[in-house]
Amino acid sequence: MPLAARLNGRTLGSQVMSQYFPRHTKKRERLHRLVENLRRAIAKSAAMDRIVKLAEEVRQAEIRVLRAERACAPRSEQGADARASFDAKISSLEGTSIEQVLERYGVRLEA
């Protein structure tokens, strides 16, 4: 019997629990840090290329948060609706331009 199937001398059979529990809050924490960095750069009037880079990182982090939340949706009919909603939000964010991200934070790129 594999070692993973025994616990304290008891046999667990086929109900071996995973040792990994997903914690998608890490992605939210990272998103929060990136948003704060972007706001700080805007407040300090940092170089525009730095602000654009931070805005792109924020957009990507928002997508990662939605994908992590989508992965936690239940595998049922209700979950299917939730996953479809997440898919729509993700595709919307993927189509969002940097200019639109910056406009949410009060910055307009000059052409």
Rounded Cα–Cα distance for residues 61 and 68 (Å): 11
Report pLDDT digits (tens) over 62-103.
999 988 888 887 788 877 888 888 899 999 999 999 999 999
What pLDDT is stored for residue 38 in this prediction?
95
109 in any annotated domain? no
Rounded Cα–Cα distance for residues 26 and 37 (Å): 17
CA atoms in the 13 A half-sphere facing the CB of 22: 11
Domain span at residue 45?
25-103
List, in sequence order, every residue forming a beta bridge with 7; answer none if it has no partner.
Answer: 10
5 in any annotated domain? no
Report pLDDT digits (tens) over 39-66.
999 999 999 999 999 999 999 999 999 8
Query: What is the tally of structural domains in the chain?
Result: 1
CB atoms within 10 A of CB 57: 18
81 in any annotated domain? yes
20 in any annotated domain? no
